[in-house]
Structure 1
Amino acid sequence: MDAVEVVSGDSPIILGVPHAGTHVPQEVWDTFNENGKALADTDWHVDQLYKGLVPDVSIVTATFHRYVIDANRDPSGVSLYPGQNTTTLCPTTDFDGLPIYLDGRAPDEAEIARRQDVFHAAYHKALAGEIARVKAIHGIAVLYDCHSIRSNIPFLFEGTLPDCNVGTNGGSTCAPQIEAAVVARTQRADSYTSILNGRFKGGWSTRHYGRPAEGVHAIQMELAQSTYLEAEKPPFNYSQDRADRLRPHLKFILQDLNAIAGELAPKRQENALRRHK
């Protein structure tokens, strides 16, 4: 199985999906304990949730599971959230802090390096390639990073997570218009709660690629899985009814991003200047 699946579209929007994959190579699977084999920390069905919302978006999806290696972590191993509980580049525990490997079977440095080459680097090569391609067409690219997580995980955060968690690393990864549009949509979404740059401020992809001054904007959406799953426990089934209520709001967000990207695109701005001369 290829480590990455890519759909190339014609719009300025790129959907990054680093954590919906469930593939674990057999040689890695054999090192997991029963807790690891549950794959509980998958962004369950988030790729299905966003499928077909708007036309012509590019989609870059990691097919491998985050327990193999986390495509949304700094490859150097530096923590995204210093001082807070989190999982590492090659996690050895789940989100509840429990071991996922059999005793003595966690990956050593050589194995981590191998997984970086085979999986992590492959995902980011594909993602960087789509960003460059889209930017060459439009003069701008907007990476919308798609995530989801259980809404109650005491090891990672206190209380219940808001439904929609928008991350821009303090506003540094995208233009203010992009941040404002996404926040406005989440705040207007009836019966859903939301927060900007709360517990989740944007992972490595958002922080690494988000360079607004260079025409590349990035924003992360971390959804509580209670918004679209039947239950946040095995078998983590997709709820069509809940998804149908949520998907229109996500569609509005992507439509807004597409429109704003058009306004921010250098070619559009150049044409506007010419008309006013």
Structure 2
Amino acid sequence: MSNIEDIRKFYARLMAANAASSDPRLEAVFASVPREAFLGPGPWTVVAGNGKVTTPSTDPAHVYQNVLVALDADKGINNGEPFLHAMWIGKLAPKPGEAVTHIGAGTGYYTALLAGLVSPGGTVTAFELDDRLAHLARENLEAYGNVTVVHGDAVATSLPPSDIVYVNAGVVAPPADWLKALRPGGRMIFPWRPAERIPLAVMVTRTEKGFACDPFMRSWFIPCFGASLADLAAKIPTRKQATRSRSIWLTRDKQPDRTATAIFGDVWFSSKNLDAGPHARPRK
């Protein structure tokens, strides 16, 4: 039998290196949170390309790799790619005392990591729409006193004021209420899927001037119920337009102008940097 503590420590070191984070606590939480505790009993089903592979035993060493582990194969729900989540969490840079909202928490593994990073003093509100997964998340996170699991629809429910909103389901645009939930200096990462051919991860930061955004990598997540379909009046961006988006606006605050790269009802994307002067040209 393998030495699981050593394996977990090495896995954590790989996660921290991939995240390129200067926060040593990131490696520490990956080392301390047992991934297998959030996956159900093994053997586990690992997603490999378009196929699936079953681990040869219940040895948890098998899940301490950069692999997707199925949580509900029929629905296409998995535990997520550790390298990607390490990178995203490192980019968000959670701090002790901050309030996090996690949308699409699954069975709670990455919720637990976030809970560790905002301790002491911070809280995590974890939304999960799937009944079975929400039940498992509540059980898995019972020992984490700073986590509240909500079995509900994060699109139809007002989010609590948040320093971080961590979204693990694809949306055509973040609902206006998600943006408004961000406190000054707050950050959100969400999988942006304005069209089938355009899967992007976007970082949003609430500044004094508005919501700055940065589409920083390709990414694909399962669709977010209630926020994954555009209406007929939407302006769908091309891939080029999507990647040059630099700010997000609420139409109640500012109507779309010639810099608009995408328009979805009460939210629109612009190619203009928030720190650009009044006569600055939009990015091409």
Same-fold status (TM-score > 0.5): no
Structure scoring higher RCO (CA < 8 A, sep ≥ 6) equals: 1
TM-score by length of 1: 0.27
TM-score by length of 2: 0.26
Bigger fraction of residues in helix: 1
